[in-house]
């Protein structure tokens, strides 16, 4: 009994000041994932990695848009989105004050434009993603400017690319045949 | 009071849906007043609807000395008959629906319902599984949602404060619309793409996605820096200047990758 | 795997088995040098199990059902035995169950430890263990349709939610008492308890004559979702949420099972970090239980003090993983965060502080005048009962068996540090508490030792190929005992089957025997000394009740029942 009293006196006030003073979580605490829509290329890597399906991506072909959304109510704060993001557009912050009175406030969205294929005119991938890939290709090739032809290929959907390739191959075959038949 | 016990289930595709209890207008008005300013201490009864126990343990953390929610008059009570606030955790498993409804009925009106943790708010990682109904609001009306997996004691205190009208809500829904010309730059454009990716991958294997990224950014900044001394010398000095041997080891490893890339 | 032949451990058991039962084994397949799966004939199953269990010191870890019709035309049941005799290894006894008869002979009559496992296979696959004495459901809720068996590959989508067949609870509780008894129902929601579970104590006056319980109020359907919705790496985060107290142990057990199946070699530094975090988890969990023991014995100041000190272990977890509770640290192949210099220094500081704090508090606890009267000789877990039902962790170690996965089947970074398992012979609440106290100190020492020996290098390897239909076991020693996972890889980066068995699953079945002969007022401390993690109790499911309950139960809880239920269970 005496020891317990001693322990209590020794400890003094163990209680944190929060909410009267800010509460500092440890470095790299896993709190609210913050999405920087300007840095996002809508590639959907995070939607695939998210274990509870808190991050969603919906494509609306008629409107030519792709809508990204996160539900903080379903988020498990694992950081898989941050781990999988190629551009650093999403990252966990120390923010933990997330309680809300209405469920709608738990959802944050971002709407992105889809790129339309220069061949068939159909939307096929987010414009920002296509542009980003173009920049990476240019960097790998050590170029700063894209030729008009490269630009055309970049903005062509995979289906048309395949078709164009086939056409090109058959043209080459015909040309080769004509060459040999001469 | 309308009884939640006999209302029919509806069906949506593969999934049956339980009826949600409704609240008479009179009770809703009383509750709105209570949420605005409770003006007294609030007693909380916990209803575990099939959580993993993480939330329950953090609630323990909230009411014990370090966070001490009793400072604010928040006390956990052993019976719903004594409760002002019902704190629902878990994704509402099939077996727990009836007990959860019985607790709801037992608590006197006007009662505040808090949905606690990812599972309570939306079903969390279990949201679409066969043996759960998918969150508190699938069976009873919810007044406050406290996200987290689990919410920390500090987040819990904040949630209570929001429920009792002591602190304002911070989170607001919003929608970003892509603007004309929005474009994402490639990071470190002066460093060859393949080298940058090789460094980033190795840093993740050495120190993980978070610390690894911080470290590789620090290292890439060194490579980018315009300085008189030649690169190999600068890298050597940078590695040698690390006080923490583990950081030195990781940077040394990254240095090796650069050396191999430039020197062959 | 032929290259491992010379390293194999456990072959002697198979040789012995072949001598006694020459035609029993039809196939033998080694997953790792210490893991073998033998397929046996259905006729010989019970004899094989009995021989391995009682004559070669095997313990039942888990029973796994699997719908292998798409692979080979049969169902299969795997009985996992942890062999703890001279050769420490795992022997998995596999029996094929015909897709036509859908029956196989029950092992429970000769090895009682199989009872929950076989009941679960019946629920989840609709197979019949012929001769199983207990015909009740185990996992599925009372309102679930009779003919729908979730884990059959052709039964249903993982999202299917049939409307309830009924709202009444129809579970039959078993009472072996010879005299007339009164029923004291507890739960599923009880007083300060955490998790739902329903206990019925059959009492005569104050004395508990028998007890039964219904668990699995927390069955959510994780195994099915893991097989259908998630990729193999995402399942590690689901495994984290099997249990909110020892989730990391599950995450490690799961990743280890897949790594064993695919032959992935996790870098040593990653292994050491896993062990450090497992011990951090044990710290907070054991401190929680010590606090609760104080609470159950009416020493509430002690409860508050232990929880105050426990917060330091929570901060330690936050420093190392970024989260207090769900660590989210594993991927197949390693871990996601390193321990840098600053964190190592902070870890050592917290460990040193905790050691002092815990010493003082334990001193106070054990010197409290009436503590011995409340824990000595209470809730006896008889050695023979323990041997028959294969309980794990501090439960079995408090009854004189030094079973500890960390030394029996070493995993993660434990091989690199000295470790001796604890045990006490009292078989009572005190013994289990003493085991936990000593283990808190062991954990503190282990964390320091692991920091000392953790080598440099990578923490994660991505150097492996995901191949379908490979299977193996993964295991850890969670704070409550052995967690064991059995995974079979599938197509599309998904699992074909995941069976996750939490430690408390093996501990519940003995509770009945521990309650018998005690008084109602001791029920709380007895259940508490099991340190039940209801959720744990099973992977898919779980359980529930928590300790505190009984103290306040008799009055308030009964009163609540009286109000809320028309058919008050009090007679």
Q: What is the pLDDT of residue B34?
A: 84
DSSP C458: -
Contact of B200 with chain C, judged by CB distance below 8 Å, is answered with no
Taking the whole predicted model, whether its pTM rises above 0.90 is answered as yes
Share the mean pLDDT of chain C: 87
pLDDT band at residue C558, thresholds of 50, 70 and 90? very low
Q: For chain A, what's the residue count?
A: 182
Residue among C191, C194, C342 minimizing CB distance to B53: C194
DSSP C337: B
Burial C51-68 (b: 16+ CB within 10 A, else e): bbbeebbbbbbbbbbbbb
Q: Is a pLDDT exceeding 60 seen at residue C397? A: yes
For residue A167, what are its two tokens?
Answer: 């056409």
What sign results for the dihedral spanned by CA atoms C446, C452, C455, C459? positive
What pLDDT digit, counting tens, does each position of C84-93 carry?
A: 999 999 999 9
Contact C458 B205 (CB under 8 A): yes
**Cβ(C397)–Cβ(C422) below 8 Å:** yes
Q: What is the pLDDT of residue C553?
A: 32
Contact of C428 with chain B, judged by CB distance below 8 Å, is answered with no
What sign results for the dihedral spanned by CA atoms C523, C529, C533, C538? negative
Q: Which residues pair with B89 in a beta bridge?
A: B48, B116
Residue C427 marked ligand-binding = no
What pLDDT digit, counting tens, does each position of C229-281 carry?
A: 999 999 999 999 988 888 999 999 999 999 999 999 999 999 999 999 999 99
Q: What is the pLDDT of residue A182?
A: 59
Q: How far apart are CA A95 and CA B206, in angstroms?
A: 27
Q: Which residues pair with C262 in a beta bridge?
A: none
Q: How far apart are CA B162 and CA C211, in angstroms?
A: 43
**Cβ(C530)–Cβ(C505) below 8 Å:** no
Q: What is the pLDDT of residue B1?
A: 41
Q: Residue C39 burial by CB count (10 A; 0-12/13-18/19+): exposed, middle or buried?
A: middle
Contact B118 A51 (CB under 8 A): no
Most A CBs within 10 Å, among C322, C343, C365, to test the A interface: C322
Q: What is the pLDDT of residue C533?
A: 55
Residue C243 marked ligand-binding = yes
Q: What are phi and psi of C207, to 5 degrees?
A: -90, 135
Most A CBs within 10 Å, among C228, C235, C237, to test the A interface: C237
Domain of A144 in residue numbering reads as 2-181
Q: Is a pLDDT exceeding 70 seen at residue C562? A: no
Q: Which residue of A has its CA nearest to C226?
A: A51
| Segment among A152-161, C45-54, C370-379 with least mean pLDDT | C370-379
Residues of C in contact with B52 (CB under 8 A): 218, 241-244, 247, 535, 542
Q: What stretch of H or E contains B42? A: strand B42-48
DSSP labels, A44-108: -HHHHH-TT--EEEEEETTTTEEEEEEETTT-----HHHHH-SS--EEE-S-----BSSGGGGEE
Q: Is a pLDDT exceeding 50 seen at residue C192? A: no
Q: What is the pLDDT of residue C358?
A: 95
Residues of C in contact with B94 (CB under 8 A): 141, 143-144, 164, 219
Q: Is a pLDDT exceeding 80 seen at residue C222? A: yes
Residues above pLDDT 70, as percent of chain C: 91
Q: How far apart are CA C534 and CA C546, in angstroms?
A: 8
Domain C2-156 - what CATH class?
alpha beta
- What percent of chain B is helix, strand and coil (3-state, nearest 5)? 50, 15, 40
Residues of C in contact with B124 (CB under 8 A): 241
Residue among B56, B243, B249 minimizing CB distance to C194: B56
Contact B173 A131 (CB under 8 A): no
Contact B54 C219 (CB under 8 A): no
Q: Which residue of C has its CA nearest to A28?
A: C322
What sign results for the dihedral spanned by CA atoms B108, B112, B116, B120? positive
Contact of C27 with chain A, judged by CB distance below 8 Å, is answered with no
Contact of B12 with chain C, judged by CB distance below 8 Å, is answered with no
DSSP C127: -
Contact B210 A25 (CB under 8 A): no
Q: What is the pLDDT of residue C543?
A: 25
CA atoms within 13 A of residue B185's CA, in its CB half-sphere: 4
Contact of C364 with chain A, judged by CB distance below 8 Å, is answered with yes
Mean pLDDT of C295-316: 91
What pLDDT digit, counting tens, does each position of C522-537 carry?
A: 887 887 787 765 543 3
DSSP labels, C521-568: GGHHHHHHHT---TTTT-SS------TTHHHHIIIIIHHHHHHH-SS-
Q: How far apart are CA B126 and CA B143, in angstroms?
A: 22
- What percent of chain A is helix, strand and coil (3-state, nearest 5)? 40, 20, 40
Q: What is the pLDDT of residue B6?
A: 66
Q: Is a pLDDT exceeding 60 seen at residue C2? A: no
Q: Which residue of B has its CA nearest to C556?
A: B79
Q: What is the pLDDT of residue C570?
A: 30
Q: How far apart are CA C62 and CA C223, in angstroms?
A: 15
Most A CBs within 10 Å, among C236, C315, C323, to test the A interface: C323
Binding-face residues of B in 54-113 toward A, CB within 8 A: 65-68, 71
The C-alpha of A119 sits at a distance from chain B's nearest C-alpha, in angstroms, of 22
Q: What is the pLDDT of residue A13?
A: 87
Q: What are phi and psi of A23, to 5 degrees?
A: -105, 120
Contact of B44 with chain C, judged by CB distance below 8 Å, is answered with no
The C-alpha of C147 sits at a distance from chain B's nearest C-alpha, in angstroms, of 15
Mean pLDDT of C55-71: 95
Measure the CA angle with vertex C159, ends C155 and C162; round to 5°.
70
Mean pLDDT of C352-379: 89
Contact B79 C164 (CB under 8 A): no
Binding-face residues of B in 97-126 toward C, CB within 8 A: 97-100, 102-103, 105-106, 124-126
List of residues 6+ apart from A55 with CB closer than 8 A: A46, A47, A68, A69, A70, A71, A81
Q: Which residue of C has its CA nearest to B54?
A: C244
Q: What is the pLDDT of residue B264?
A: 58
Q: How far apart are CA B238 and CA C15, in angstroms?
A: 60
For CATH 1.10.645.10, the residue range(s) in chain C are 222-520+533-543
Contact of B47 with chain C, judged by CB distance below 8 Å, is answered with yes
Contact of A26 with chain C, judged by CB distance below 8 Å, is answered with yes
pLDDT band at residue C552, thresholds of 50, 70 and 90? very low
Q: What is the pLDDT of residue C555?
A: 34
Q: Which residue of B has its CA nearest to A81?
A: B209
Q: Which residue of A has its CA nearest to C237?
A: A51
What pLDDT digit, counting tens, does each position of A22-52 carry?
A: 998 888 999 999 999 999 999 999 999 999 9
pLDDT band at residue C190, thresholds of 50, 70 and 90? low
Q: What is the pLDDT of residue C370?
A: 79
With CA atoms as reference, report the closest residue to C122 among C157, C92, C151: C151
Q: How many domains does chain A have?
A: 1
DSSP B20: P
What pLDDT digit, counting tens, does each position of C5-51 carry?
A: 778 999 999 999 999 999 999 999 999 999 999 999 999 999 999 99
The C-alpha of A135 sits at a distance from chain B's nearest C-alpha, in angstroms, of 7
The C-alpha of A120 sits at a distance from chain B's nearest C-alpha, in angstroms, of 23
Q: What is the pLDDT of residue C537?
A: 35
Q: Does domain B10-163 have CATH number 3.40.50.1370?
A: no
What pLDDT digit, counting tens, does each position of C434-473 carry?
A: 999 999 999 999 999 999 999 999 999 999 999 999 999 9
Which has more pLDDT, B139 or C219?
B139
Contact C237 A26 (CB under 8 A): no
User: For residue C274, is the peptide bond before it cis, meaning its omega torsion is within 30 degrees of 0?
Assistant: no
List of residues 6+ apart from C237 with CB closer than 8 A: A51, A52, A76, A78, A80, B125, C251, C328
Residues of C in contact with B80 (CB under 8 A): 560
Contact A99 B144 (CB under 8 A): yes
Measure the CA angle with vertex C280, ends C276 and C285; round to 5°.
145
Contact C237 A51 (CB under 8 A): yes
Q: What are phi and psi of C484, to 5 degrees?
A: -135, 135
For residue C103, what are its two tokens?
Answer: 């029956």
**Cβ(C395)–Cβ(C381) below 8 Å:** yes
Residue C114 marked ligand-binding = no
CATH superfamily entry for domain C222-520+533-543:
Cytochrome-c3 Hydrogenase, chain B (1.10.645.10)
Neighbors of chain C by Cβ distance (3+ pairs < 8 Å): A, B
Residue C500 marked ligand-binding = no
Residues of A in contact with C361 (CB under 8 A): 7
Residues of A in contact with C231 (CB under 8 A): 48
What sign results for the dihedral spanned by CA atoms A149, A154, A155, A156? positive
Residues of A in contact with C314 (CB under 8 A): none
Q: Is a pLDDT exceeding 80 seen at residue C561? A: no
Q: What stretch of H or E contains C444? A: helix C429-453
Which has more pLDDT, B259 or A148?
B259
Contact of B151 with chain A, judged by CB distance below 8 Å, is answered with yes
Residue among C240, C305, C336 minimizing CB distance to A7: C305
User: For residue B150, is the peptide bond before it cis, meaning its omega torsion is within 30 degrees of 0?
Assistant: yes
Q: What stretch of H or E contains A133? A: helix A127-141
The C-alpha of B113 sits at a distance from chain C's nearest C-alpha, in angstroms, of 17
The residues of chain B scoring below 70 in pLDDT are: 1-6, 264
Q: What is the pLDDT of residue A116?
A: 94
Neighbors of chain B by Cβ distance (3+ pairs < 8 Å): A, C
- CATH code assigned at A44: 3.30.70.20
Contact A99 B162 (CB under 8 A): yes
Instruction: Please state the ipTM of this predicted complex.
Output: 0.94
């Amino acid at each position: 009994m005496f020891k317990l009293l001693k322990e209590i006196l020794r400890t003094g006030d163990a209680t944190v000041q929060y909410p009267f003073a800010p509460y500092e979580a440890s470095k790299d605490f896993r709190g609210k994932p913050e999405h920087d829509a300007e840095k996002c290329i809508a590639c959907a890597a995070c939607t695939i990695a998210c274990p509870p399906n808190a991050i969603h991506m919906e494509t609306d072909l008629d409107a030519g848009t792709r809508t990204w959304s996160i539900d903080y109510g379903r988020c498990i704060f694992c950081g898989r989105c941050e781990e999988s993001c190629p551009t650093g557009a999403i990252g966990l912050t120390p923010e933990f004050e997330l309680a809300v009175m209405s469920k709608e406030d738990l959802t944050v969205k971002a709407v992105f434009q889809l790129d339309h294929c220069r061949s068939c005119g159909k939307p096929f991938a987010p414009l920002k993603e296509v542009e980003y890939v173009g920049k990476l290709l240019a960097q790998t090739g050590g170029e700063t400017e894209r030729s008009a032809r490269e630009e055309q290929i970049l903005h062509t959907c995979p289906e048309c690319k395949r078709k164009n390739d086939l056409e090109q191959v058959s043209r080459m075959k015909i040309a080769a045949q004509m060459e040999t038949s001469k | 009071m309308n009884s939640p016990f006999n209302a029919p289930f509806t069906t949506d595709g593969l999934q049956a849906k339980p009826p949600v209890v409704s609240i008479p207008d009179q009770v809703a008005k009383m509750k709105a007043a209570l949420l605005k300013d409770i003006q007294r201490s609030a007693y909380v009864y916990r209803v575990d609807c099939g959580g993993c126990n993480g939330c329950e343990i953090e609630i323990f953390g909230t009411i014990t000395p370090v966070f001490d929610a009793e400072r604010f008059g928040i006390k956990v009570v052993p019976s719903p008959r004594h409760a002002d606030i019902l704190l629902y955790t878990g994704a509402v498993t099939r077996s727990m629906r009836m007990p959860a409804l019985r607790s709801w009925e037992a608590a006197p009106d006007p009662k505040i319902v808090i949905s606690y943790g990812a599972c309570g708010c939306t079903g969390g990682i279990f949201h679409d599984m066969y043996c759960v109904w998918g969150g508190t609001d699938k069976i009873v009306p919810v007044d406050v949602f406290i996200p987290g997996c689990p919410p920390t004691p500090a987040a819990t205190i904040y949630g209570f404060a929001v429920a009792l009208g002591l602190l304002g809500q911070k989170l607001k829904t919003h929608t970003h619309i892509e603007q004309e010309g929005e474009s994402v730059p490639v990071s470190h454009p002066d460093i060859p793409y393949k080298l940058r990716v090789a460094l980033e991958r190795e840093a993740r294997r050495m120190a993980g996605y978070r610390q690894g990224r911080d470290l590789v950014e620090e290292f890439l900044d060194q490579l980018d820096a315009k300085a008189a001394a030649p690169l190999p010398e600068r890298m050597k000095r940078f590695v040698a200047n690390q006080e923490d041997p583990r950081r030195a080891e990781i940077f040394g490893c990254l240095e090796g990758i650069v050396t191999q890339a430039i020197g062959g | 795997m032929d290259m491992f032949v010379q390293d194999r451990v456990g072959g002697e058991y198979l040789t012995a088995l072949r001598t006694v039962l020459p035609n029993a084994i039809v196939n033998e397949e080694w997953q790792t040098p210490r893991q073998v799966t033998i397929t046996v004939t259905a006729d010989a199953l019970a004899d094989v199990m009995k021989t391995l269990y009682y004559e070669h010191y095997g313990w039942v870890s888990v029973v796994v059902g699997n719908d292998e019709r798409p692979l080979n035309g049969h169902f299969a049941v795997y009985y996992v035995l942890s062999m703890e005799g001279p050769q420490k290894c795992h022997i998995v006894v596999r029996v094929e169950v015909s897709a036509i008869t859908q029956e196989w002979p029950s092992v429970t009559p000769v090895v009682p430890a199989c009872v929950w496992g076989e009941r679960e296979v019946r629920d989840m696959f609709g197979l019949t263990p012929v001769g199983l004495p207990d015909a009740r459901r185990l996992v599925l809720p009372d309102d679930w349709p009779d003919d729908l068996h979730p884990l059959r590959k052709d039964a249903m989508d993982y999202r299917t939610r049939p409307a309830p067949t009924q709202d009444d609870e129809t579970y039959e509780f078993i009472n072996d008492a010879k005299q007339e008894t009164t029923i004291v129902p507890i739960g599923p929601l009880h007083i300060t308890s955490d998790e739902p579970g329903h206990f019925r104590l059959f009492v005569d006056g104050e004395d508990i004559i028998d007890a039964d319980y219904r668990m699995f109020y927390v069955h959510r359907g994780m195994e099915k979702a893991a097989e259908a919705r998630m990729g193999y790496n995402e399942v590690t985060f689901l495994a984290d949420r099997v249990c909110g107290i020892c989730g990391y142990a599950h995450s490690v057990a799961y990743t280890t099972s897949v790594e064993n199946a695919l032959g992935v070699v996790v870098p040593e530094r990653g292994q050491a970090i896993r062990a450090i975090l497992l011990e951090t988890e044990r710290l907070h969990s054991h401190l929680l239980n010590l606090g609760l023991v104080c609470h159950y014995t009416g020493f509430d100041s002690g409860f508050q003090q232990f929880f105050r000190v426990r917060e330091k272990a929570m901060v330690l977890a936050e420093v190392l993983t970024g989260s207090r509770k769900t660590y989210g640290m594993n991927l197949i192949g390693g871990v996601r965060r390193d321990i840098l210099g600053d964190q190592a220094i902070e870890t050592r500081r917290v460990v040193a502080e905790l050691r002092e704090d815990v010493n003082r508090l334990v001193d106070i606890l054990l010197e409290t005048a009436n503590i011995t009267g409340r824990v000595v000789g209470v809730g006896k877990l008889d050695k023979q009962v323990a041997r028959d039902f294969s309980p794990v962790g501090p439960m079995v170690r408090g009854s004189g068996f030094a079973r500890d996965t960390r030394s029996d089947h070493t995993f993660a970074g434990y091989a690199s540090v000295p470790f001796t398992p604890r045990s006490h012979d009292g078989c009572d609440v005190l013994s289990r508490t003493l085991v936990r106290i000593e283990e808190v100190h062991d954990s503190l020492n282990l964390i320091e030792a692991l920091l000392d020996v953790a080598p440099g290098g990578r923490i994660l390897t991505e150097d492996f190929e995901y191949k379908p239909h490979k299977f193996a076991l993964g295991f850890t020693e969670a704070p409550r005992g052995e967690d064991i996972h059995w995974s079979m890889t599938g197509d599309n980066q998904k699992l074909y089957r995941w069976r996750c068995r939490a430690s408390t699953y093996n501990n519940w079945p003995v509770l009945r025997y521990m309650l018998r002969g005690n008084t109602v007022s001791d029920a709380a401390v007895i259940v508490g000394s099991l340190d039940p993690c209801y959720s744990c109790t099973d992977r898919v499911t779980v359980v529930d009740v928590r300790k505190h309950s009984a103290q306040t139960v008799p009055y308030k809880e009964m009163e609540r029942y009286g109000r809320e239920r028309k058919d008050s269970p009090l007679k």
